[in-house]
Chains A and B, each alone.
Chain A
Amino acid sequence: MSEKQPLIQVKHLKQYFDINMGFGKAKPLKAVDDISFDIMEGETLGLVGESGCGKTTAGRSILHLYKPTSGEVIFNGKPIKTKKDIAELRTKATMVFQDPYSSLDPRMTVMDIIAEPLDINVAYNAAYKDKEKRRERVLQLMDYVGLNSEHAARYAHEFSGGQRQRVGIARALAVNPDFIVCDEPVSALDVSIQAQVINMFADLKEKIGLTYLFIAHDLLVVRHISDRIAVMYLGHMVELASAKDIYDRPLHPYSKALISAVPVPDPKVAKANKRIALTGEIPSPLNAPKGCPFNTRCPYATDQCRETMPEFREIEKGRFVACHRAEELNS
């Protein structure tokens, strides 16, 4: 991995939303609060965390679907700043959404859904003006994702969840992107279909040379598909390491609890596992605690944790963690 260049560099990305508190007052909801990481070319970075931790927002901010509050996203060495940069980014980076039911227009045929990025994008609409060419490209894309060419004239409602997700993926591939943000792409699918789609993601990566940001809450799926995994909590990134390291030896107390809570589909392992119980609930991002975001639930929290925000630092080669006591707790 070391010889590879970072395709995406995210630097101090912040995404705040103003929440109307009534009486003309607004309060910032810090959905993503200062995260920094790189995604190498050809890599799959898994992004995990519980609901409300900001993982989806992070994915969307990187693609500039929201205008980031501050921070920088550098794509292929080029910072994304102007509208033109964003338009260009749209031809290189796309997204697959979670819900294959609501992310496809029910009044469009599969052909039109998949071709829509080509129709809209200035860089492509000239090249695919020709009906035959456009059709050819769509059929090629459908072939990539394992859909039958005869399905092109059908509407989304005629498909099962797994097939719809394939349509969504074909649409994401239409502009020939280098990078795809996959936002919980398999969580709405049945177990037996999940495996089909996961394998397809792996195949496409090989075939087209894609880079993924794979957002999911199912840790076993993320573990399977990712090279590296980042764990988020309350808008912050708390740990980043290779998929194997993070499972074998998580360093951050939150990652430890999260991984110990994964229901392992093996009774002997499940019964032997000692779960690290977390007390309390995830705090509201409107009232994030002072200091380390995890200090309210962390069994090891000290006064320092309650006062100062730990820095996201590399404590071993390739292992980043945001915890004051990381060395001490893991020695």
Chain B
Amino acid sequence: MALLEVKGLHTSFFTDAGEVKAVNGVSFDLDYGKVLGIVGESGSGKSVTAYSIMQILAPTGKIVSGSIKFDGQELVGAGEKVMKDIRGNKISIIFQDPMTSLNPTYTIGRQLMEAITLHTDRNKEQARERAIEMLKLVNVNEPEKRMKQYPYEFSGGMRQRVMIAMALACEPDILIADEPTTALDVTIQAGILELMKDIQKKMGMAIIMITHDLGVVAQLCDEVIVMYAGSICEQGTENEIFYNPCHEYTKGLMRSIPTIEKDDSRLEPITGTPIDLLNMPKGCPFAPRCDNAMKICLTRSCERIQINDYHQAACWMNVKKAAEEGKLDELTAARSEAEREGTVSADE
């Protein structure tokens, strides 16, 4: 059994303009001690997925259907009492902006100790010791002195270290990091990522790393999920996603980022504009921007197809490719559907 099992998660926001389907059928497993990267652009549903797991959605947001199992325990519909025990204790989250996540009117020490006393039966003195220990772990100098200081006395990188210390104080099994380094400078970012890697090795928790930066993913993650318009396009091990992308969106993303090797050549952007979640297209959500979109892409979204043991992608191109190579039998998920529709042959 995996540590975290998310199945068919649908989360919507009910706004005046209509239902915004932010997450559309997301499923994944997370094992102990793994680092899972979730990549996507703004509005792809990567953060909402995380907030759904923690159940800290905005008041208009609601988990419509699906299941989230932590260590075998169902969290959807489990109620606030159960969630209070999970949040910060079993699953912790750190956010993008470390300033707004800390209370400016309390000292760092008080905020750290609050997290500890709330979830454990440590007394104040023990909580203090633990807080200082945590600050040492995240490489904050002079922790005793720093405990008495307020957030404004900390730099952005230091605040994020404090947030990590707070999130890890109760030794959670999962740490969700929602763009933890986006607001930071590159040299500070590199330090934080290294710190997360070290602590992960030391404490052995699983990490869900949410980011838009493929560079961050490349440094940290074992497994990668690529999201677009609320669904998972592609999922696999880091090497599979980077060196063998099988979804047109992932391929486009890889082509569009400048690298040091790609010298003076032009970038190959993904055409079109990001999707409007209020007016989702029929079929594959990426089809309107996809250069290789086929007829079927506009009418039916693709199920996840098993590329190999470590890799799944939801793109009809893989069915087409398999058909061309005469390997259609090997595809499991979408095969029967594609045949029934007669689309594979019709589109060739």
Q: A interface vs B, CB < 8 Å?
A: 50-51, 160, 162-163, 190-196, 198-199, 202, 217, 219-221, 223-224, 244, 247, 257-258, 260-267, 269-271, 275, 277-278, 281
Contacts and interface: CB of A to CB of B under 8 A. Distances in A.
B155 A193 contact: no
Contacts of B219: 263, 267, 270-271
B269 A266 contact: no
Contact of B190 (A193, A224, A261, A281): A261
A278 B190 CA distance: 10
The 5 closest A-B pairs by CB, nearest first: A263-B215, A195-B269, A224-B258, A195-B256, A265-B214
A192 B265 CA distance: 17
Contact of A263 (B193, B253, B266): B193
Interface in B21-41: 41
B187 interface: yes
A195 B212 CA distance: 14
- Name A's interface SS: helix
Contacts of A278: 187, 191
A270 B215 contact: yes
Given A224-B267, A281-B157, A262 B186 contact: yes
12 contacts: A50-B188, A162-B273, A192-B274, A220-B260, A261-B189, A262-B186, A263-B216, A265-B217, A265-B218, A267-B239, A270-B218, A278-B191
B238 interface: yes
A192 B215 CA distance: 15
Contacts of A267: 218-219, 238-239, 242
B330 interface: no
Interface string B251-282: 01110111110110011111101100000000
A195 B193 contact: no
B258 A192 contact: no
A202 to B, nearest CB: 7
B185 interface: yes
Interface residues of B, number: 44
B56 to A, nearest CB: 24
Contact of B269 (A160, A196, A281): A196
A224 B193 CA distance: 24
A226 to B, nearest CB: 11
B158 interface: yes
Nearest to B194: A275
A223 B262 CA distance: 10
Contact of B260 (A247, A257, A275, A281): A247
A209 B303 CA distance: 48
A189 to B, nearest CB: 9
B267 A264 contact: no
A250 to B, nearest CB: 12
